[in-house]
Structure 1
Amino acid sequence: MTLLAHDRYCDEIAHQVRLLRAVVTSGADLSATVPTCPDWTLEQLVRHTGGALRWVELMVRTRAQEEIPEEQVPGAEGPEGEGDPAALDAWLADTGEMLVGALREAGPDAKVWGWAGVLNAGFWARRMTHEITIHRADATLAAKLPYDVAPDIAADAIDEWLEIVEWAQRTLPDDPSRELQRSGSIHLHATDNTPELNAEWVIDLTGDAIVWRRGHEKATVALRGPLTAVLLAFYRRLPLDSPELEVLGERELLEFWLERATFG
């Protein structure tokens, strides 16, 4: 699958950091539970996201050839004290600048350790783009704010999620994705699709591992809706019964997928 340009990922990380900072400074209750990550408050979600960005920044900047333990990352835990949106905002701003600067300086081909076997900085530019894009959705849900995302980023996030599920099936013997072998197929259909974007996917579950491709084909079950809504439903951030979504065919197969495609 064709990736987006490295600079596009870097630009989007910077953009998503700005949008996440806007949630932090919106007056939202930082102690509110995140509906889609109920073990976290909004503040804990933001600290987790910023900490992940700082972890990657350190690995990219130092060209790490093995995983750096998270506890060795300076400042990853966030500002001292809790409930201070200004301090959290400033920490996020510094975090975003650090990571984007490190990724731009490295370029996509710099050799860096990666957990999926893609050993370059480009892997991390893409991974962190979608890490913060999805966790910003979590944050906006907690803050009861609107959410949208650029179509090229949303489509690439679905591609990457399918690649992660493939990787988990191959690599993690106890991962629930190993149970996804089942008769049938899933079609994801963005109703605001364009020929240039090609935001449709077919996922075949009939083999020993999933096989997927972009395209419009009849399937056992189809999930239809605007691309952002399809993205959020596929990441289990939006219920299938949401009014902007439509499920056609064997809904149980789609639910079976969502219960088991859980890595990350």
Structure 2
Amino acid sequence: MTTMLTDKTALVTGGSRGIGAAIARRLAREGANVVITYAGNEAAAAETVAAIEAEGRKALAIRADASDMAASRTAVVQAAEFLGGLDILVHNAGVAEFGPVGEIGDGSYRQQFGVNVDGVFAGTSAAIPHLRDGGRVIIIGSVNAHTMPTPGGAIYGATKAAVAGLARGWARDLGPRGILVNVIQPGPVDTDMNPADGDFAKVLVPLMAIGRYGKVEEIANLAAFLASDESSLITGTTIDIDGGFSI
């Protein structure tokens, strides 16, 4: 059966759990060979690799700290060597820590920018020689880039606004090669970090127009579309996928 991404190659950072794992599995289901990176959960990474291989695709997990720019670059090179080049680069690795200004520390500030921004910059820069013309760069951002319904999210929101700015600039840089660059901005999504049955959900669900958290598969659906030829006129944009959270 013909699929949208037959024989394409993809790297998904932070692909062991949650949104990243769902994206990696969906890309494989659409025909792509997929490499993931992970920070430390080797067992979860192995599960994602097994799921990709079960689709009949090549798969590999690379341990890499996204806040370490050298490690991010090395992981991209290793992925490109394993796959024979890259068609799709998905930046999903991310961290969040909320706290009010004056209380949240320098370490949290640096860690959030390190993973959420520095890793995206380093990984994309390293991918350029390996990314084929007509390729895709997809960044998982957040609606917190432009809306902040609760206190304490300034640093996290700033990191997500930063990558939206990078995407707009990179869309100009890479457009002549037919490489499209876009940001997916989820609202509340049911993950280990932010479960739909957690205390924070009691605050956020009433703000959702549809009255429920998103599912990781719903984010993966959008990522697969942006990775495919069906998105051929979309670049340099941010797409909110938040069930009406930010309206």
TM-score, with normalisation over the residues of structure 1? 0.25
Higher Cα radius of gyration: 1
Q: Which has the higher strand share?
A: 2
